[in-house]
Amino acid sequence: MALLRGVWGALSSLGADLCAGCGNRLRLPFSFSTLPRWLCSGMTYPKKPMTSFLRFSREQLPIFKAQNPGVKIPALIKQIAQQWRELSDEEKKVYEDAYKADWESYKEEMNRLQKNLTPSQIESLEKEVLQKRLKKKAIIKKRELTMLGKPKRPRTAHNIFVSERFQEAKDLSVQEKLRSLNESWKNLTNSEKQAYIQLAEDDKVRYYNEMKVWEDQMIEAGRNDLLRRRPKSSKDETED
């Protein structure tokens, strides 16, 4: 894993993550990991210093490319990483000292930049960072639940109707298909909708039964945090 991080970091250093608005690297040493486009206009940001390994990689890559024509960069980086591991502590110290010196300068410059931000800019940044963290947390949670086999939520009568008819609407864009199907759904009589309503009710039963089995499995696995309602302990039941 450490090697993969090193490979990715070395590749990133050759084509660094840049702000789409101003073209500068925007990773910061304080709580804000990136800066939004609206804050980049007219401001100059120092480049984040390369780590000791990245410095070594950038220095060695042209040499390895010349010695191994036609070999792809990821393969070369693996060879460079192996050579890095074989360096003595004294040889690595040259790169580590250079990184530490540049990092101190970088922190000073970024602290100066942070002090120049207005209160409203800081507040906006904090809100944006919080939103990104919550979004990332939700994505990770969704992936985990999918991996654990959590049953899919029941579909509504309307969703079942759209899914059934979606492929029939040819030569239309997705938006046009949805707009057309929504209109068709509105034009159905109550008796015509009843068949889909019944399918939706059946799907609710399916979901309920599958969730009961799944939650029993999560309890056995010690994952009560994933339950819709946490089961009461015997102590709670006695107190009730």
Mean pLDDT of 197-219: 95
pTM given for the model: 0.47
Predicted confidence at residue 35, as pLDDT, reads 54
Mean pLDDT of 81-101: 94
Over the chain, what is the mean pLDDT? 80
Whether residue 235 is predicted with pLDDT greater than 80 in this model: the reply is: no
Q: Residue 4: which pLDDT band, with cuts at 50, 70 and 90?
A: very low
Share of the chain above pLDDT 70, in %: 76
Whether residue 151 is predicted with pLDDT greater than 50 in this model: the reply is: yes
Length of the chain counted residue by residue: 240
Q: Residue 209: which pLDDT band, with cuts at 50, 70 and 90?
A: very high
Query: For 168-207, what is each residue's pLDDT tens digit?
Result: 777 788 888 899 899 999 999 999 999 999 999 999 999 9
Q: Residue 166: which pLDDT band, with cuts at 50, 70 and 90?
A: confident
Query: For 94-146, what is each residue's pLDDT tens digit?
Result: 999 999 999 999 999 888 877 888 888 778 878 888 998 999 999 999 999 98
Distance CA 228, CA 233 (A): 15
Question: Which domains does the chain show, CATH number per domain?
Answer: 2-116 (1.10.30.10), 157-239 (1.10.30.10)
Q: In this structure, which amino acid lies at residue 168? A: E
Whether residue 93 is predicted with pLDDT greater than 90 in this model: the reply is: yes
Q: Residue 36: which pLDDT band, with cuts at 50, 70 and 90?
A: low
Q: Residue 232: which pLDDT band, with cuts at 50, 70 and 90?
A: low
Predicted confidence at residue 43, as pLDDT, reads 53
